[in-house]
Every structure is written in C-alpha cells, then in structure tokens.
C-alpha cells in the first residue's frame, strides 16, 4: 500500500500547531494527530472527517491523565501478538528495531487505568485476535457500539 509520508514534515507541522496553541497534554496530542494527517500526502480525505483515530502505543502510558484532561476522548488499547506488531513497525515512516518494542511497558499502566472509575468507561482494551471475528466484528464491534458508531458495524 502506498504511504507518501515524511516524519520531518510532520515534525515541522506539529511545531507550527504548538506555536499557535501552546503546550499542554491535550494540545500536544491534538497537534500530533493533526500534523500526522496533514503530512500524509496520499491520505484520501472525504471532507466528512469528524475525529482522529491514531496509533501511538506510548500514549497509553498517560491514558488516565489524558482522559481526565480530554473528557470526550476515548482510548482503544489493542493488545497484539508481539511478532505481528514487530512486522508492522517495518512499514512505519520511522521503523523500530525489534529490541525497541516494549509492549509489556504499556500494558501495566493501561490495566491500572482501566480500574479507575473516572476513566474506565472510556478506556477500551481488546485483543487484536478477537477484533476480527466474523460476527459483528467481535470485540471491536462491541467497542463501536459503546461509542455509538453503528455505521462502522456492517
């Protein structure tokens, strides 16, 4: 799949957003995802986009804090087979070596945050292998229903 993306462009765009908004956890996260999609040149936009869905496993370390500061945000933490995760890093704009993957470091904080009554209804944990069951998309279908995304379940 083509992926016309430059991490240098994303960095420059991110810095421009932060100059405008200032630095805070919510502003940093918003700027990161906006910059990611702005730097992605062959991303097909419909013009009807209303939210950002991003992949950044390290953000989940601060999930509880982020969810407290962004009351309308949700986290979807997908637990993956480590070999599949490594294979996917090779497709990134900035690939990681195998030794740099530390999935176990992100699982502990997310499990702690999931026990927090303040954010547990907005922190969703699913196993990748269970997301793609044929019936209603399995665990992913359940999360979509919780978020009110009925059109995503077909």
Residue matched to tokens 């480590």: 82
Mean pLDDT for the stretch of residues 89-117: 73
pLDDT digits (tens, 9 = 90+) for 60-100: 788 888 888 888 888 888 877 777 777 777 777 777 776 66
- Full domain range(s) for residue 31: 1-41
Q: 82 and 130: one domain? A: yes
Question: What are phi and psi for residue 89, nearest 5 degrees?
Answer: -65, -25
Q: 68 and 36: one domain? A: no
Q: Tell me whether residue 24 is in a domain.
A: yes
State the average pLDDT for the chain.
79
Cα–Cα separations (whole angstroms), residue 107 to 45, 63, 114: 33, 11, 11
Mean pLDDT for the stretch of residues 129-143: 64
Q: 145 and 116: one domain? A: yes
Q: At what angle do helices 25-39 and 7-21 cross, to 10 degrees?
A: 140
Beta bridge partners of 124: 76
Mean pLDDT for the stretch of residues 127-150: 68
Q: Quick one: tokens of 102?
A: 């530390």
Q: 64 and 92: one domain? A: yes
Mean pLDDT for the stretch of residues 39-49: 87
Q: Which one has a higher pLDDT value, 78 or 138?
A: 78
Q: Is 79 helix (H, G, I), strand (E, B) or coil?
A: strand
Q: 136 and 92: one domain? A: yes
Question: What are phi and psi for residue 79, nearest 5 degrees?
Answer: -90, 120
Please give the Cα distance from 122 to 71 (Å, whole number).
9
Q: 32 and 83: one domain? A: no
Please give the Cα distance from 147 to 74 (Å, whole number).
9
């Amino acid at each position: 799949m083509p992926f016309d993306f430059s991490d240098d462009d994303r960095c420059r765009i991110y810095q421009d957003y932060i100059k405008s908004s200032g630095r805070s956890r919510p502003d940093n996260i918003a700027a990161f995802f906006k910059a990611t999609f702005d730097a992605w040149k062959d991303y097909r936009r419909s013009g009807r986009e209303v939210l950002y869905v991003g992949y950044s496993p390290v953000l989940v370390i601060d999930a509880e804090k982020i969810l407290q500061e962004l009351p309308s945000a949700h986290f979807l933490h997908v637990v993956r087979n480590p070999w599949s995760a490594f294979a996917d890093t090779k497709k990134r704009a900035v690939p990681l070596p195998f030794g740099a993957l530390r999935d176990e470091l992100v699982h502990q904080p997310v499990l702690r945050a999931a026990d927090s009554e303040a954010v547990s209804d907005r922190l969703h944990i699913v196993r990748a292998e269970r997301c793609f069951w044929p019936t209603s998309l399995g665990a992913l279908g359940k999360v979509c229903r919780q978020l009110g995304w009925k059109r995503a379940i077909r």
